[in-house]
Structure 1
């Protein structure tokens, strides 16, 4: 029998499939992407029909070598990477590498796709292989090329105009714009007072409240009673003419239906996991991946859910049949609609997809598998299972009632409303959470009324209200907005949000996103100078074009050319924009100290501040909140309610910190560091109280019952247990992290010790030597040969890329030597050794396309050369 080699992306998936396919199949993992663009200028060449130059990813080269070796001993190679554009691209890259290594002679190579890891689905997929879809591959290549062209051209501009270490992205920047625009709305918001007027009463021992809707014949709008004086006038009138009673004018009864939500897509799963389970989007996807790839259920390893990257809300016929049968058997025929329930896709850019996220077997109930899952897996699986089952159930039914009362005349109308659930329907299984909105289906019973009934008013009163600004985006509502605007793909939402946090463009405070000062300045620059490219409609249209490429409706090279023609021109024109123009904003206020200049809003090292442009002749500054700039080193925040001591914000050698009270004899006051992702100007009493409450006691460790804590130290937020410490990732919060997540972090292997490199970023394009990242005594730095370059921002230690490191090293090398000669004490260069075996593979467009006319020949932005 012919020997088979089946290649998947993840090693955990490989273990599961091995049990299904038997000894005639060798199964290896690629460990994700195997090739990427070379990290230097020219990786995508607009002047050569957008030729893309790839190289092997260092960390996966050994896995590619293992695959190459195994191919030699196989007759049939099956590429079973994930069933989406990224998976298709990985399959294509593997095939290209194997072709270049000349190991495919007399071999058959096919693409295999399955959407659930169950024995039946896998065996069926292996029996029905297909060719690699170049439409899907080219859609992925186009996306990668666009991301490269935007990042490699805009990021250097941000370095020059604002600050080193910043980045821009094709999808990241419109997402930042959403958050900044919401913050601008909040800043511009003016709260307005208004009052509502109510009476409390009861009938048949059932209390109820009614609200005034009409006064003297006029319907009241929100601001009809605008202040306390008007409130008192209206209440006095009603008390005088109403004589303490209300008469029923009308009773209106209606039947209301609430339908179930569609099964989960990637986007709705992320939103609901954030709202209902408290997960981050990234965590939700990782847990879903583990459920998809396979869990050991007793003696059987099987995937519990279908593929978790999907835009589809449809279910297969087989799944619908199984779910409907389960509903009838377990809940009764009255909970089952006469016909299957179908849902329409509402996603702006629905990518190719099979079906919604659902359990691979509906009979595998959450209770039956709970013992085999960890807590996070159990919660997410239960939510997916319930959502899929409920999607095929009857609507919930409510009886609603509205009763209108008159007080002191027919022109003065109060209304009381209530509702009662009369049939649970899908609520029997699942209730969807809402974000930023009040639930409209709560039980609220009213007494029985008929027209002409009279009730006594127990209390007549007004309630003061103030309009509220629009809420900041939560992780769930941001995902919803990204989907509505068509920004990016649901599968990339987690990485978009993570990137914004890692770049410190936004912070997550009380589970809401606030842009940092740097984030706002970056957004202002991009919105003013690259408005078209951070426009929501443009971003969505580009996603539509990528969809068209994947569906074979559009060629990929023309899409890139249309984008690059205008974009490259704009990049060139904006080189002349001054740094002052970007980082300073003139205000309509004259400096109170010198009286000569209009004040400017500026970006400094610790955030935004207001200052006089006449410096150094005039040194006037103040904080954005209005406090004196000279007193920025010390600020009183408020009173700690527990100790009744003053909380102060101070600055020390390691940055800002909070202090509770003053020194009392030998006893030092409590001090807590302010995390780097919280700007000093943003520290208010609420934030201060959360910080001084640290460390948080998360509870006992499940293995030894010793306490697990979350705290903030000199090097940032961390969790600790029995002398062991682990940093909390930037996209997670010390205030929100739960015990289970802390335990998982503590179990992760420690980084290698010693004074060696923290990370090898890659090889320098000029000599092939390693460019490495180190943690030094005076902060993180990158090293190439004998040249060291300090990172301008400590936060870059987790985000610095090879191209950024090369730029820093080039700048350092340029300052270090004499122009036209060698540096003092430098030795003559040795003859170059034979070049190492090349790993870069230059790829022309995957499918031959007609050559495009070269009316415009824009050049990709280049990294600065050493002086």
Structure 2
């Protein structure tokens, strides 16, 4: 029997660790949570310091039995559940269960955490164990108690007032409210008409279009030309007039890379760039973290994927900078490593940002060993990590004002002069830019006459705010400080499973049931 027993959450992680730790260690998996609140009233007692009553999770009882049996034989017990609040709580629950068993009352397990599953990181963690961090356990229990009190008290009320099988929750209900309120905004929205005026001109073979920005010395706002009649009057006044260059402004612009991935930003970019759901993204990231055989045995390819932090370790920064200098080029390496600060109010920065465990394991080198999803996600994480330490992209921007009668038309062109980080990765946005500014203008001089090829008006109508997709919902939840990024995938699944929302063209629409539940909760439970 091995003298060391190490407990992890998942069996696939156990396989990877076995390779690093050898025959001295027996490694068993708890298969997630081992205890949960009893499923009846009184599991949390608010009048008695929120005392909580737990019971074994039935489906994991046989795994707990195996852990108890192995613990009786082992000299050292290491609890290596995931390095987050849930993982800390699972370790504490295991310790509490073991203390009740005969012969294990005085057991003193040691807690180890693996932020990445590579040989060095694992051996380093085993060499520096610690005790269980009770503040983290308390934080997890507080959340679990709140989930229970909200869910257990509100859900039966929904069954009574609306129908059975419905549920309310600390996070799912605010998420549903966001979707319903957006739907109400869309319904209440009244489209407003407005017009814009445009000038088509050219110089040599270069054609360009400018937009009217000023008329009779007044700056034009969105609704300055609210109707066809108003634009027709301006159009008539400008027709037949000559055009000349009134002003030229040239600026040098630069654009900095985005921070490395947190759980939330990884989910958002995977939705936008890869078309993956948050749930699929988190499952794939878990596989990359726990270890994949890339030719020399299983190895964790990314650091822990549940994190709010945008910081990178000094070793990682050194390696990334070395890679940029040697593989991409010295021009792309800034003089010093870039440091990023988190914007999230309630961020927990115990971990690093999500990054490859080694930047020298390039996406192409590991591609033969990965599934399509694993490769796409790993490539995105790798590119974002490398790009975050690269030099800014540089642009020459030219703005030309063209005078026609009492009007000033403006056209902007932009030319990339140095790709910088954009040669590796570009962050996606919610509303993809139409690229209007990324065009080159011909050389022009102030006072130069230009041909008027056409002057015309264009009709527009304001559009309602868009429905949430998974990326924008995750972003909104994070901005409001609702829930944890690691739970967003399960929140979204719950809303779909309860039939509170449907997905149409990848955007959320509340169902009748969802709207009734939301109305009931917001009217009667404002607190």
Q: Normalising TM by the smaller chain, what interval?
A: over 0.9
Who is 1:261 aligned against?
258
Question: How many Å separate the matches in 2 of 1:382 and 1:268?
Answer: 15
Asked if residue 100 in structure 1 is aligned to residue 100 in structure 2, the reply is yes
Structure 1 residues 206 and 293: CA distance shift in structure 2, 3 A:
same
Question: CA 1:413/1:491 → structure 2, altered by over 3 Å: closer, same or farther?
Answer: same
Which residue does the alignment assign to 2:193?
A: 193
Deviates more, 1:151-160 or 1:113-122: 151-160
Deviation sequence 1:547-601 (CA, Å, 0-9, x none)? xxxxxxxxxxxxxxxxxxxxxxxxxxxxxxxxxxxxxxxxxxxxxxxxxxxxxxx
1:380 counterpart SS class = helix
The match for 1:335 is 332
The answer as to 2:480 corresponding to 1:485 is yes
Query: Gapped runs of 5+ residues in structure 2?
Result: none
Find the counterpart in structure 2 of residue 158 from structure 1.
Answer: 158
For 1:450 and 1:97, locate their aligned partners in 2 and report how far apart those are by CA, in whole Å.
81
Cα pair distance change 1:75/1:439, threshold 3 Å: farther
Quote the Cα distance in structure 2 between the aligned partners of 1:47 and 1:465. 60
Alignment of 1:750-769 (within 5 A): none
What is the deviation of 1:48?
2.5
Contact 1:397 1:421 in 2 (8 A): yes
- Give the Cα–Cα distance (whole angstroms) in 2 for the partners of residues 437 and 301 of structure 1: 38
Name the SS of the counterpart of 2:69 in structure 1. Answer: helix
- How far does residue 187 in structure 1 lie from its aligned partner after superposition? 0.9
8 A contact 1:348–1:485 mirrored in 2: no
Q: Number of residues paired by the alignment?
A: 527
Distance 1:306 1:94 in 2: 25
Q: Equivalents in 2 of 1:517, 1:453: separation in Å?
A: 62
Q: Is the 8 A contact 2:99 2:107 kept in 1?
A: no
Q: CA deviation at 1:106?
A: 6.5
1:813-867 CA distances to partner (integer Å, 9 max, x unpaired)? xxxxxxxxxxxxxxxxxxxxxxxxxxxxxxxxxxxxxxxxxxxxxxxxxxxxxxx
Change (3 A) 1:260 1:352: closer
| 2:439 corresponds to 1:426 | no
- Flag the 1:282–1:441 CA change in 2: closer, same or farther, 3 A: farther
Tell whether the 8 Å contact from 1:79 to 1:110 is kept in structure 2 after alignment.
yes
Cα distance 1:2–1:25, how it changes in 2: closer, same or farther (>3 A)? Answer: closer
Q: Report deviation, 1:126.
A: 0.5
The answer to whether 1:367 aligns with 2:364 is yes
Provide the rounded CA distance (Å) in 1 between the counterparts of 2:309 and 2:377: 19
Determine the structure 2 residue equivalent to 1:396: 393
Give the match for residue 75 of structure 1: 75
Change (3 A) 1:322 1:197: same
2:346 and 2:435 mapped to 1: Cα distance? Answer: 30
Q: Is residue 230 of structure 2 the alignment partner of residue 233 of structure 1?
A: no
What do residues 733-788 of structure 1 show as CA deviations (whole Å, max 9, x unaligned)?
xxxxxxxxxxxxxxxxxxxxxxxxxxxxxxxxxxxxxxxxxxxxxxxxxxxxxxxx
Q: 2:375 aligns with which of 374, 378, 381?
A: 378
Equivalent in the alignment of 1:443: 438
Equivalent residue for 1:180? Answer: 180
Once residues 327 and 151 of structure 2 are traced to their aligned partners in structure 1, the CA distance between those partners, rounded to angstroms, is 54
**In 2: Cα distance, 1:406 partner to 1:463 partner:** 19
User: How far did 1:117 drift?
Assistant: 0.3
Correspondence for 2:497? 502
2:311 to 310, 314, 320: 314
Measure how far apart 1:348 and its partner are. Answer: 2.1
Structure with bigger gyration radius: 1
Shift of residue 334, structure 1, vs aligned partner: 1.0
> 1:214 & 1:175 partners in 2: Cα distance?
43
CA distance in 1, matches of 2:296, 2:432: 45
Deviates further, 105-114 or 138-147: 105-114
Q: Measure the CA separation in 2 of the matches of 1:2 and 1:217.
A: 86
Contact 2:2-2:23 at 8 Å conserved across structures? no
How far residue 267 of structure 1 moved from its aligned partner, in angstroms, is 0.2
Q: Where does residue 212 of structure 1 map in the other structure?
A: 212
8 Å Cα contact 2:200/2:452 also seen in 1? yes
Is 1:277 matched up with 2:298? no
SS of residue in 1 equivalent to 2:477:
helix
Instruction: Give the whole-Å Cα distance in 2 for the aligned partners of 1:259 and 1:292.
Output: 28
1:237 to 1:442, Cα distance in 2 relative to 1, 3 A:
closer
CA contact (8 A) 2:412 2:437 kept: no
Q: CA deviation at 1:103?
A: 3.6
CA contact (8 A) 2:30 2:63 kept: yes
Q: After the TM superposition, which residues 673-752 of structure 1 pair with which residues of structure 2 at under 5 Å, given as runs?
A: none
Highest RCO, 1 vs 2 (Cα 8 Å, sep ≥ 6): 2
Q: 2:452 aligns with which of 447, 453, 457?
A: 457
Residue in 1 that maps onto 2:7? 7
**Residue number in structure 2 paired with 1:750:** none
Q: Following superposition, which runs of at least 4 residues in structure 1 exceed 6 angstroms of deviation?
A: none
Matched, 1:303 2:292: no
What pairs up with 1:75-154 in 2 under 5 angstroms?
75-104=75-104, 107-154=107-154
For 1:442 and 1:361, the matched residues in 2 are separated by 37
The answer on whether the counterparts of 2:10 and 2:31 sit within 8 Å (CA) in structure 1 is yes
2:465 equivalent in structure 1: 470
Q: Secondary structure in 2 aligned to 1:521?
A: helix
TM-fit CA distance, 1:149? 0.4
Q: Within 2, Cα distance between the matches of 1:492 and 1:354?
A: 17
CA contact (8 A) 1:34 1:93 kept: yes
Q: CA deviation at 1:49?
A: 2.3
Q: How does 1:798-813 map to 2 (within 5 A)?
A: none
Counterpart Cα distance in 2 of 1:51 and 1:68: 26
TM-score of the two chains, using structure 2 as the length reference: 0.98
Aligned counterpart, 1:28: 28
Tell me, in whole angstroms, the C-alpha distance in 2 between the residues paired with 1:35 and 1:235: 74
